[in-house]
Amino acid sequence: MSPDFRPSEMIRPQRKLTGISAILLPFTEAGEVDWTALQAHILRTAETGLMPAVNMDTGFLNLIDEPTKLRVLEITREVLHGAPFCAGAYSADEPGAAWCADEYLRQMELIQQHGGMPVIFQSYGLTGQAPAEIVAAYEQLAASCDRFLAFELTEDLLPFGKTYDLETYAALLKIPQCVGAKHSSFRREPEWQRLKLRDELRPDFKVYTGNDLAIDMVMYGSDYLLGLSTFGPDYFARRDAYWLAGDARFYELNDWLQYLGMFAFRDPSPAYKHSAAQFLKLRGWIPCDNTCPGSPTRPDSDVPVLAEIMQKLDALIA
């Protein structure tokens, strides 16, 4: 395993990208989940060719209760009619908690029963362990399913997130059921290192960038599982088509999507979910831009900025 790499030599032109989109859970004026809008957004996302990922950070997985999680899975199964999707498996806990395999296994079973592929959402109990124990935890979960995705999340978004050391990542690559991993450190270098390691050890393994601040990581060999794509699965689908075709229009579309990402994921970054609601309301896709109770908000003064970006993006895909 070598940490040496030249990003310019890693560029993979005209590659078919796999896009997974972490779906925003929309809310009504009364602070309830807007199930109708959720259903429409899952369907809209799948119709663009992106795979929906529900019950992720963008779906407020650590804030919603069990019946809500379950209803999200039911609606996703109903609306997709067998089309593939991913969903976060998570064991809610507190700092200092012990690893709780049983709850993860239960969540994974539920996701699979609904036709989804589990994404192992981190928790204090998982990431608070020593590296060897973290690997053993993933191996334990792997025994219960055919396919799952691992997920490294930045602490900027959730306090129990963790970026593993490269040895731990290499051990994940050796778990056959772990078919990919979302990398959301929000830094390029560890993702380039993971791509290099992937190419050396297991070329079929998917590195999904979760870096909403560097969505061009797809140029270097990453696929993506982004929250930003929930703002505009249609924009992302077009960008990906341009990359596959070697069309120069990829770059300007990517630039404007990145401007949207930089704006929406600025400090405090967890408020990006409110930005997403503001943007989806501007698009006419949800009737209310309330975010999940308990989640941080953006000011109303963001809306004209988002509107300008939306107009530019709409023009670019017209």
Ligand X SMILES: N[C@@H](CC=O)C(=O)O
Q: Which residues bind ligand X (CB under 6 A)?
A: 22, 56-58, 157, 184, 210, 226-227
Nearest approach, Cβ of 111 to ligand X (angstroms)?
A: 15
Q: Which is nearer to ligand X, 109 or 156 (CB)?
A: 156
Q: Are 24 and 274 in contact (CB under 8 A)?
A: no
Reduced to 3 states (helix: H, G, I; strand: E, B; else coil), residue 99 is coil
Sign of CA dihedral 11, 13, 16, 20: positive
CB of 50: closest distance to ligand X in angstroms? 13
Instruction: Give the residue nearest to ligand X (CB).
Output: 227
Task: Find the shortest distance in angstroms from Cβ 22 to ligand X.
Answer: 3
Q: Give the nearer residue to ligand X in terms of CB position, either 2 or 231.
A: 231
Which residues are CB-contacts of 126 (< 8 A; sequence separation ≥ 6)? 91, 99, 104, 120, 134, 137, 160
Minimal distance in Å, beta carbon 58 to ligand X? 4
Rounded to the nearest whole angstrom, what is the least distance from the CB of residue 176 to ligand X in the complex?
Answer: 24
Q: Residue 64 gets which letter from DSSP? A: S
CB atoms within 10 A of CB 78: 11
Residues 6+ apart with CB under 8 A from 181: 149, 150, 151, 152, 169, 172, 194, 205, 206, 207, 208
Q: Are 238 and 317 in contact (CB under 8 A)?
A: yes
Return the number of the residue (4 or 292) whose C-beta is nearest ligand X. 292
* Cα–Cα distance measured from residue 90 to residue 95, given in angstroms and rounded to the nearest whole number: 15
Distance CA 19, CA 115 (A): 18
Report the alpha-carbon distance of residue 238 to residue 283 in Å, rounded.
Answer: 17
* Residue 40 C-beta: closest distance to ligand X, Å: 19
CA-CA distance, 281 to 301, in Å (whole number)?
15
Shortest Å, Cβ 6 to ligand X? 26
Amino acid at 33: V
* Pure H helices in 225-297: 233-245, 249-264, 272-282
Compare residues 98 and 150 and give the one whose CB is closer to ligand X. 150
- What is the nearest approach in angstroms of ligand X to the Cβ of residue 184? 4
Q: Minimum CB separation from ligand X for residue 9, in Å?
A: 27
- How many Cβ atoms are within 10 Å of 172's Cβ, its own excluded? 22
Nearer to ligand X, 292 or 311 (CB): 292
Q: Which is nearer to ligand X, 215 or 313 (CB)?
A: 215
- For ligand X, which is the closer residue by CB, 6 or 75? 75
* Integer Cα distance of 58 and 79 in angstroms: 19
Q: State which residue, 151 or 256, has the beta carbon closest to ligand X.
A: 151
Q: Which residue number, 72 or 136, has a Cβ lying nearer to ligand X?
A: 72
